[in-house]
Amino acid sequence: MSDTVLILVRHGETEWNAAGRIQGHLDIPLSDTGLTQAAALGRRLGSEAFDAILSSDLERALQTARPIVRHSEQTILSDTRLRERHLGVLQGLTGEEAAIRQPHAWGAFKARIPEAVLEGGETYGEFSRRVVGLIEELLRTHTGSRLLLVTHGGVLDAAYRHATGMPLSAPRDFPIFNASVNMLRHRNNLWTVESWGDVSHLPREPAMDDT
């Protein structure tokens, strides 16, 4: 059976990323830095062939995806399942603010307990199942394809853990950068991480953040 390749790209930087403010489902656009990063991704990936290009429906992801599309016949398929995790009462806060205003929710978020309830949002487990469900669907419907997914830091985290068998509760030991290129390959019912955290197309390495 032919390999299925997923190229996962995290959206470019926003002003909230730079400030350490939690975005989740809030629709924050790219900053000037993020737009520059999106243009760099366009130069990096715009000449490559993809069988389909999918993006989160949030504007920061769509703004990142648009420069990559070079051919008028190719469209961006918007999918809400590629959204960031809904972080409920933590959305809009910095980590410092969350620790003071929402200590219970912040503690649950930091503890990485899969089914710990996050008021107003998704549990870590619910979010992971959403992402993995989309990935498994793509394997069925696009077998042997090369797919570009423009998405968010939390989605990259869930996809990496699914591919490597890393538990949701384990501390993250892999990078998640704005505007990074990350490649997973599925062959003979097994996933491999072909490359991860590639920001060689950017003028400088972005800060690591996953919210």
Catalytic positions, written as ranges = 11, 84
Amino acid at 193: V
Place of tokens 């649950």: 108
Phi, psi of 110 (to 5 degrees): -70, -25
130 close to 123: Cβ distance less than 8 angstroms: no
The token duo for 42 is: 């366009």
3 close to 63: Cβ distance less than 8 angstroms: no
Residues facing 190 on adjacent strands:
187
Cα torsion 158, 159, 162, 164 to 10°: value is: -110
56 close to 151: Cβ distance less than 8 angstroms: yes
82 close to 152: Cβ distance less than 8 angstroms: yes
Phi, psi of 86 (to 5 degrees): -75, 115
* Separation CA 188–CA 3 (nearest Å): 8
* Separation CA 67–CA 20 (nearest Å): 26
